[in-house]
Amino acid sequence: MSDEKYFQNISSRERAIFEGAITMGALFHQFVGTPVSPKSTNSLEKAIEESLELQPCIESVNVKINHQLMEEEENEYQYLSLTGEMLDVRVVSQYEGVKVVVRMHYIEELHYPLMYVEEID
């Protein structure tokens, strides 16, 4: 069964944005709080990317965890809980020829890890 009837009230552009935004929200709410250490960042980045690329219409996901921030926050337990401030993420979604890049990264002047549409082709 096709899901097209459920999205007939939005354009291809809106669907591409929707899919990218849903994926970004899933990332934030599934992975923030995950235990992470400098030793595990590469494997966590890869796990996040591979799991989110399974979402509908997602072409690619690029996740970078800020190692410098982790070093600054280092503690006696050898790990931290992943926060939005540590993440720099790009999600590329595509639907019917429309490609969208949704981005999340910490914006210093806002003091906030902002999610936004970075590019639409």
Q: What total of structural domains would you count in the chain?
A: 1
Range of the domain at 59: 10-120
Write out pLDDT tens, residues 14-25.
Answer: 999 999 999 999
- The stretch 13-40 carries a mean pLDDT of 95
Task: Kindly tell me if the per-residue pLDDT of 1 is higher than 70.
Answer: no
Residue 5, in any domain of the structure = no
d(CA 57, CA 7): 13
Residue 95, in any domain of the structure = yes
Task: State the DSSP code for 3.
Answer: S
What the block records as the tokens of 41 is 């960042």
CATH of the domain at 50: 3.30.1300.20
Identify the CA nearest to 91 among candidates 54, 66, 39. Answer: 54
Mean of the per-residue pLDDT values for the chain? 94
The residue with tokens 């970078």 is 64
pLDDT of amino acid 73: 75
Q: What is the DSSP string of 9-23?
A: TS-HHHHHHHHHHHH
What the block records as the tokens of 91 is 């999600």
